[in-house]
Amino acid sequence: MSHDHHDERPRLTPEQTAAALNPPAGRNGGDLVVETLQGLGATTVFGLPGQHALGMFDALRRSSLTYIGLRVENNAGFAADAYGRITGEVAPLLLSTGPGALTSLAALQEAAAASAPVLAISSQIPVAGLGGGRHGYLHELRDQKASFRDVVKSVHTVRTASQIPSAIAAAWESALTAPHGPVWIEIPQDVLLAETIVPVVSAMDATPRELYARPELTAVAADLLSKAERPAIIAGGGVVRSDASGKLLALAEKLDAPVVTTFGGKGAFPWEHPLSLQSWLEDRYTTDFLESADVLLVVGSGLGELSSNYHTFAPRGRVIQIEADAGKLESNHPALGIHADAREALSDLLEAVDRREDPTAPERVRTVLEAVRERIAAQELTLEQRLIASVREALPDVSPSFWDMTILAYWAWSAFDARHPNTMHSAQGAGGLGYGFPAALGAAAADRTRPVLVVSGDGGAMYSIAELATARQYDLPVTWLIVDDGGYGILREYMTGAFGEATATELTRPDFVALAESFGVPAIRTTPESLTADLAASLAAPGPSVVVLPALLRMFEPTHL
């Protein structure tokens, strides 16, 4: 934030001045938390109460914030992650000390991997216990923030009530500075509970820093792309997060450059566009095509394991990499590295490149996609392809979908047409189980006008079955498709392939239909033949619903081995 714009200083209205001079009685540190969140623009918070955090939760009663309480802290973290992804706004996550806070760690790892702006605010043992002495407080850790420092973007410890607004504003700014990500604040129990004379928080400002491309790098990149004979583009999650899909489309058309989207970048480029290579990244035909590009523009992707066909991708041409996360810049391939927000960098490039025409580009794209289709067709995986088509047919175009780590989701990464940017989400950043259903609840809380779809396996479903109660309590429009194959299907495939047989993958599971109905959630058992109709009906009905599909699915053959 710059400090030379004196005219931009926040000013109080007469009402705000009166409130500051005469704060209502009985306010505590918890009130400062909710007042600061409201002042920064928050409307919805997620979480789960605990003994040390009660001051914060009691203050919610005196606020206009909407509270969505989940049944497990990790699931509350996944819900906040999805809310942040869908809205692009900060999603506050309220947690208790020790076990409550630690239970959210896997969700915060996913938020970090997917650049979701989650603001975790945890309680802490009383101030007297800070500093590593062993006092024997309930929930005590030797150094709670050390458990989070490796996972989140920034950590902030509060020691007095007057530090609360500044700590939250600093964390908010950190969460929204590109690349977005989770941040973590801890506030001692006694600070949250103590009455405060700090005035009512009214005028808050936490403007994230813009991350622009350096102009000399843009000039070099534009020159390379304008003169390229066979340019190609890989569009990653950064394009979706920075709302840069329109810029990407304009640049691709100006250069006649084919575009492939990563699994995190699904929807960043129109699926049926003549220049669209779609997202068949785990395919040697796609990998060969990208390797043959003389100039390859990589936007908003670190070219990690999944985006590089398991690190078998070896580009032969010049690589230009635009990436907001400095740690991912040139981490896997030498490149012209441009540390910038995808939207800003694409905007600059669009102005700087010369129009280049290549009538052969659509034909070359068609050739690759036909080769991919023929390879898949030869494997006789008609059931799997049919299920992906059925889900696409049943799901409204603007509805978000959330995919857990399950075989049908692995298919969807490559084969599903996400018709709009920022509508298809999965846990492929950190790769943990149980993401789909709680994330979908967070997305539904962000926008109740669109039904939300979740796809889980039976193994992943068991991680978040408790959240059926949350879905019912808040009447969230989420339809949960559970593909029941009797265990951890993808691990069964991996182990059988690697060792000849599978261990620890077969699971006893409940009658999911009866279980859902016991929560008051309508449920139906479906078949591949009736899936489209049953899903469409469930999505059209108000409130939550469950659709169970007993099916044993197979993955397409990998090309990286």
Percent of the chain with pLDDT over 70: 99
What confidence tens digit (pLDDT) does each residue in 93-128 have? 999 999 999 999 999 999 999 999 999 999 999 998
Q: How confident is the model at residue 10, as a pLDDT?
A: 81
pLDDT at 1 over 50: no
pLDDT in tens, 246-297: 999 999 999 999 999 999 999 999 999 999 999 999 999 999 999 999 999 9
Global confidence as pTM:
0.96
Query: How confident is residue 6, by pLDDT bands cut at 50, 70 and 90?
Result: very low
CA dihedral for 257, 258, 264, 265, sign (positive or negative): positive
d(C-alpha 129, C-alpha 147), whole Å = 17
Average pLDDT over residues 363-372: 98
- The percent of residues in the chain predicted with pLDDT above 90, rounded, is 90
Q: Provide φ and ψ at 229, rounded to 5°.
A: -90, -35
Q: Measure the CA angle with vertex 55, ends 49 and 56; round to 5°.
A: 65
Count CB-CB contacts under 10 A for residue 411: 23
Residue 26 class from Cβ within 10 Å (0-12 exposed, 13-18 middle, 19+ buried)? Answer: exposed
Read off the pLDDT of each residue in 341-356 and give the average, rounded to a whole number: 98
Q: Which residue, among 212, 238, 233, 215, has the nearest Cα to 352 in the 3D structure?
A: 215
Q: Containing H/E element for 449?
A: none
- Residue 514: exposed, middle, or buried by beta-carbon count in 10 A (0-12, 13-18, 19+)? exposed
Cα 355 to chain centroid distance, Å, stands at 34
Cα–Cα distance for residue pair 545/523, rounded to 1 Å: 6
At residue 7, the pLDDT reads 57
Which helix (H) or strand (E) segment holds residue 400: the answer is none
Closest CA to 401 of 85, 47, 74: 85
Nearest to 482 by CA among 390, 548, 409: 548
* Residue 18, pLDDT score: 87
Question: Tokens in use for 168?
Answer: 């939250």
pLDDT digits (tens, 9 = 90+) for 43-80: 999 999 999 999 999 999 999 999 999 999 999 999 99
